Structure 1
Amino acid sequence: MSTEAIPEEQFVREFTKELHSRNAAAFIGAGFSMSAGYVNWNELLKGVVTDLGLDPQKEHDLVSVAQYSVNKAGGNKNALTRTILHNIGVAKKPTIGHQILASLPIHTFWTTNYDKLIETSLEDAKKVPDVKHTLEQLSTTWPNRDAVVYKMHGDISDPTNAVICKDDYERYPFKMGQFASLLKGDLIEKTFLFLGFSFTDPNIDFILSRVRAVMEDNQREHYCIQKKITKWPKETKKDFEYRQLKQDYFIRDLKRKNIQTVEVDSYYDIPRLLEKVATRFKRSSIFVSGAAVEFGAWKPNEADSFLYNLGASLSEKNIRIVTGSGVGIGGAIINGALEHLDTAGIAISEEHLMMRPFPHTASGNPASKGRWTKYRQAMIEHTGIALFVFGNKVDKSGKIVESGGMREEFDLCVASGVVPIPVGATGYMAKTLWREVEGHFDDFFPKATATIRKSFSALGNASTSAAKLEEEIHEIIHHLQKD
């Protein structure tokens, strides 16, 4: 790793904080679309370079090369337009990286790409993108938008106006200056993650330099992910070390603009790192699963007090509670969280508490099983950890049985990568699930320490006090949020 790069853990920790604060933005370059099947600038203009009689291996100033092509055609950009349409006109599926970004609370996207992968991934995530690639679009706001996508170099739907040659770049401050001003403002107010970028774009370099000049020592910190320099086949050690040194200087220069670099071994590691960010973010939200018509060895007031205190302490630690308001359980959990929010003077919102009472038909009967499954999945997808307490119901014959709904929620959590924490000491389905997790402990908690193993064991012991259960639950949650 470059001595100038920051550790992955630092990036994950700090960028996750920005996501929680709703201050995060993303800037996506051509490299991020390559795994979807699109080409980078070198490949895009390879034919243009060859047609000019130049060597694609030797030409690196591709903006100038594009201008040479226009000059040769007497100022006509039609050939470049056809090149863009041929290489980018066919729609591709968003990559895993695009999907992860779309799932995160990022409301501002910037890109120099012409493709539609960002907006498509947002739509797939059931979000409404407000796409802007012309000046006229800047003055309108798409109804109920969830994210703004600024395509500062144009869109494949309008290739004739794409920014690609030197003329376009030189005219940009005059023709599209509002985009530059908006980006400058976002760079001052938001924390950006740069992906698929080489930072050789003259527009971006100019804007970053202006932000640095204006803000001086008060620049906002940004991040970028880059692939480590690796030795090429048959490359000499001297040439390899030269390239390493040059990248160190480049990363240091990015620091001058307050852009911190995190390095990965390969481009395939970028989605892995983004997934790590998404997991860390989601683990600040906990799904609470439970229902009870009786409490077994627990007195009703003891169970109510335990759940109330648990809801309050979770909220106190800035953990968002997501619950379907299960019978006998949801009310106490919710009231505990509400008490803390009220005492702390925090306005109640879904940033702190997401309540989702299960749907019923007009007659008051439960909705279809399929609809309940989708409802459960919709709650669980917001979370990274799930708590399971009690879990019983009355069947049609009037007998108390373990909750099948809790069983389904557990299975949905496991399938979604949500880590389950069954509190077996509360009995019923929670006890059954605790035994299941305990039997495959290393699969569910692969990085658990001896302390975490002990904490989990305590959750299955009926003699563990309510206060101790709460303490051990928080110990396990803290471990998972650091993982």
Structure 2
Amino acid sequence: MVSSKIMDFNADLVDDLARQKVVLFLGSGVSASCKTRAGQQIRQWEPFLQFAAGKIKDKSLKSLVKQSLEQRDYLMACDLIREALGTEWTDLLKQEYQQVGEPSALHKALVKLEQRIVVTTNFDKLLESAWEQFSGSATHFPQVTTKIDHKAFAALRDVKGKFLIKLHGSIDDPDSMVFTKSDYADRAFGNWAYNEFLRVLLLTHTFLFVGFSMTDPAISLLVEQYAQSFPTARPHYMLVGGKVHDRLIEWNKKLRRLYVLPYKSDNNHAELPRLLTALGKKASERRRELLAASNQA
């Protein structure tokens, strides 16, 4: 049963979906929803770092990495692991994130929302596979961007095109991936295009975060800066599985202009694709209303 608390979707969100003015921002939880052909899930960030840390032979360095992981300083841990493993690091990345997987019901529900711009921090190829399988009558793949520079801004001007922005790179090009503290310093915090592109999107579109925990330092900072600069602007939305404390919901609303939408996380988040499917139906109905009104004008 779909939770009644969320079924009363915000009318602005439905309207923005109908007008293709929503940016679907997808995190590792989306990739975790599917199985690879080997019958496993692609590891999310922390489990992958723990797995990679197990390959380190230097005991003192392994202990330092373990300490960083316990402190949840994943960027530092990642830097240390990459330095310790050398070329084996890239091999591990490819073994994990180049796996072929079967797109999930969640992938299908997201593709069926039919938004122009999808942004993801994931490195894998699952979204591309989902697009091919579930895009219906679409005749072209979305334009995939794996490096955020001036060319990324084409997504803002080409209103007829569809775009998949792989914000932190793609496993097809390991050198493009933003995975360590030094990567963030160079390609996120230190990249004018990265910051400006997301700032413009936050101001001109409504974000719907799915499978994303808002622990990414660059993204959370930009969302907070947006809220401080435009305190009366339209909010953004984040779907979160499980119980969420009311204080946390209010904190996100106040500090980030981010409306947290909780849903039941039982049965491997089975409710999430149902919610998105219901949301997609409401957006389709609204799109038909807008088209009818336009034809009568």
TM-score range, shorter-chain basis?
A: 0.7 to 0.9
Partner of 2:59: none
SS, match of residue 218 in structure 1: coil
- Provide structure 2 residue ranges, at least 5 long, that are not aligned to the other structure: 35-40, 57-61
Once the two structures are superposed, the pairs formed by residues 70-81 of structure 1 within 5 Å of their partners are 70-72=82-84, 76=86, 78-81=87-90
Identity over aligned pairs, percent: 23
Partner of 1:89: 98
Per-residue displacement from partner, 1:321-363 (whole Å, max 9, x unpaired)? Answer: 7xxxxxxxxxxxxxxx99x71xxxx2xxxxxxxxxxxxxxxxx
TM-score by length of 2: 0.79
For the 8 Å contact 1:194–1:223, the answer to whether it is kept is: yes
**Residue 62 (structure 1) aligned to one of 67, 74, 78:** 74
**Residue 154 (structure 1) aligned to one of 163, 169, 186:** 169
- Distance in 2, matches of 1:139 and 1:26, equals 16
Partner of 1:225: 239
Partner letter of residue 252 of structure 1? E
Partner letter of residue 253 of structure 1? W
* TM-aligned CA distance change 1:69 to 1:190, over 3 Å: same
Structure 1 segments of 4+ aligned residues over 4 angstroms from their partners: none
Partner of 1:265: 264
Partner of 1:179: 194
Say which one has the larger Rg: 1
* TM-aligned CA distance change 1:62 to 1:258, over 3 Å: same
For the 8 Å contact 1:155–1:162, the answer to whether it is kept is: yes
For the 8 Å contact 2:146–2:167, the answer to whether it is kept is: yes
SS, match of residue 150 in structure 1: strand
Once the two structures are superposed, the pairs formed by residues 69-468 of structure 1 within 5 Å of their partners are 69-72=81-84, 76=86, 78-124=87-133, 125=135, 126=138, 127-134=140-147, 135=149, 137-138=151-152, 146-173=161-188, 176-215=191-230, 217-229=231-243, 247-255=245-253, 256-266=255-265, 267-284=269-286, 318=289, 341=296, 346=297
Ranked by relative contact order (alpha carbons within 8 Å, sequence separation 6 or more), the top structure is 2
- Provide structure 1 residue ranges, at least 5 long, that are not aligned to the other structure: 1-5, 230-243, 287-317, 322-336, 347-483
Partner letter of residue 96 of structure 1? A
Q: How many residues are treated as equivalent by the alignment? A: 270
Partner letter of residue 125 of structure 2? K
Partner of 1:18: 16
For the 8 Å contact 2:27–2:211, the answer to whether it is kept is: yes
- Distance in 1, matches of 2:153 and 2:259, equals 33
SS, match of residue 43 in structure 2: coil
State the Cα RMSD in Å.
Answer: 3.0
* TM-aligned CA distance change 1:157 to 1:175, over 3 Å: farther
For the 8 Å contact 2:153–2:197, the answer to whether it is kept is: no
Q: CA deviation at 1:43?
A: 1.6
TM-score by length of 1: 0.51
- Distance in 1, matches of 2:215 and 2:240, equals 14
- Distance in 2, matches of 1:145 and 1:46, equals 42
* TM-aligned CA distance change 1:173 to 1:30, over 3 Å: closer
* TM-aligned CA distance change 1:84 to 1:59, over 3 Å: farther
Q: CA deviation at 1:47?
A: 1.8
